[in-house]
């Protein structure tokens, strides 16, 4: 959580240090995006460029001052606060400006969208999730881009499926699935599972059918990397504890 002093000064009125740093970092990012768009304008490329901006996950509220209100949850879980993120798309002359697209989309749609914009075809289309978003965002297709959306966390025990406004999720192997109507309850406070057991079963079957086609969860060496890094620091601390107090 770091930002240049001049940006921190912009938000000196925020008493919470984490929140102040977070605001300053967002401001740095805003200026960086502005510089990119200005360069596109300067080189007359703005109307030839599809610009997409999105977050990779919801804010880890306890760690960095982010706020996910009114959404429940945070980075790392399958509540809306963990998986619903800001997602902006701009293409002047092709997509309407200043509009809000109400149907849910996924970051996985970006691959097919980029291929379509570049008039390219994937080597094996069956291996790509997602859809080309341009016809939907341009108003040429009124239906939702995806009939169903699925999430599965690395541990494989927390997952979610969304169909229309209904979302079924399970946060751990020890808790039963919970059902929410996001149209009426975006904060996921009113569990409808007991009232609609048939819908719970149907959505759970959809998730199981989808998950059956997936590989076992992997995290690309993340655990191994951190195990090696921590072992290095343990050796370093043991060799010279006075030089590296509490180093991790």
Read off the pLDDT of residues 165-176 as tens digits, 9 standing for 90 and up: 999 999 988 899
Task: Quote the pTM value.
Answer: 0.83
Mean pLDDT estimate for the chain: 90
Domain contains 14: no
Structural domain containing residue 229? 221-248
Which of 144, 152, 155, 48 has its CA nearest to residue 105? 144
Q: What is the mean pLDDT of residues 123-131?
A: 79
Place 41 in a pLDDT band, splitting at 50, 70 and 90: very high
Tell me, yes or no, whether 42 lies in a domain: no
Nearest to 4 by CA among 20, 54, 35, 65: 20
Domain membership of residue 68 (yes or no) is no
**8 Å CB contact between 2 and 18:** no
Rounded alpha-carbon distances, angstroms, from residue 197 to 168, 193, 211: 11, 6, 21
Residue 245 belongs to a domain: yes
CA angle at 128 for the pair 124 and 129, rounded to the nearest 5°: 155
Is residue 232 in a domain?
Answer: yes
Rounded Cα distance between 181 and 25, Å, is: 34
- Does the pLDDT at position 231 exceed 90? no
pLDDT band at residue 245 under the 50/70/90 scheme: very low
Query: 223: pLDDT confidence band, cut at 50, 70 and 90?
Result: low
At 32, is the secondary structure helix, strand, or coil?
Answer: helix
Other C-beta atoms lying within 10 Å of the C-beta of residue 210: 16
Q: Is residue 33 part of a domain?
A: no
Asked whether residue 120 is domain-assigned, the answer is no
Token pair listed for 38:
């200005």
DSSP-assigned states of every residue in 200-228: HHHHHHHHHHHHTTSPPP--TTHHHHHHH
Compare 215 and 96 and report the one with higher pLDDT. Answer: 96
3-state secondary structure 61-97: HHHHCCCCCCCCCCCCCCCHHHHCCCEEEECCCCCCC
d(CA 30, CA 37): 11
Number of domains observed in the structure of the chain? 1
CA separation for the pair 141, 133 (Å, rounded): 10
pLDDT at 243: 47
Determine, yes or no, domain membership for 148: no
Query: What is the structure's pLDDT at 106?
Result: 95
């Amino acid at each position: 959580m770091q930002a240049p002093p001049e940006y921190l000064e912009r938000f000196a009125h925020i008493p919470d240090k984490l929140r102040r740093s977070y605001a300053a970092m967002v401001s740095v990012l805003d200026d960086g995006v502005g510089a990119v768009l200005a360069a596109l304008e300067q080189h007359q490329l703005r109307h030839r460029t599809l610009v997409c901006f999105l977050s990779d996950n919801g804010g880890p509220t306890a760690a960095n001052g982010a706020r996910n209100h009114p959404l429940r949850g945070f980075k790392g879980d399958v509540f809306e606060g963990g998986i619903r993120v800001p997602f902006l798309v701009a293409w002047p002359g092709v997509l309407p400006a200043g509009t809000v697209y109400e149907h849910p989309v996924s970051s996985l749609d970006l691959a097919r969208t980029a291929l379509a914009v570049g008039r390219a075809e994937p080597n094996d289309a069956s291996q790509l999730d997602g859809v080309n978003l341009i016809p939907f965002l341009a108003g040429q297709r009124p239906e939702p881009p995806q009939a169903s959306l699925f999430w599965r966390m690395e541990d494989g025990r927390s997952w979610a499926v969304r169909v229309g406004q209904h979302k079924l999720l399970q946060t751990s192997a020890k808790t039963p699935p919970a059902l929410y109507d996001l149209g009426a309850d975006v904060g996921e406070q009113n569990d409808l599972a007991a009232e609609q057991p048939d819908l719970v079963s149907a959505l759970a079957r959809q998730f199981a059918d989808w998950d059956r086609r997936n590989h076992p969860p992997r995290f690309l060496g993340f655990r191994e990397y951190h195990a090696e890094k921590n072992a290095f620091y343990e050796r370093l601390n043991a060799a010279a504890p006075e030089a590296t107090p509490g180093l991790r």
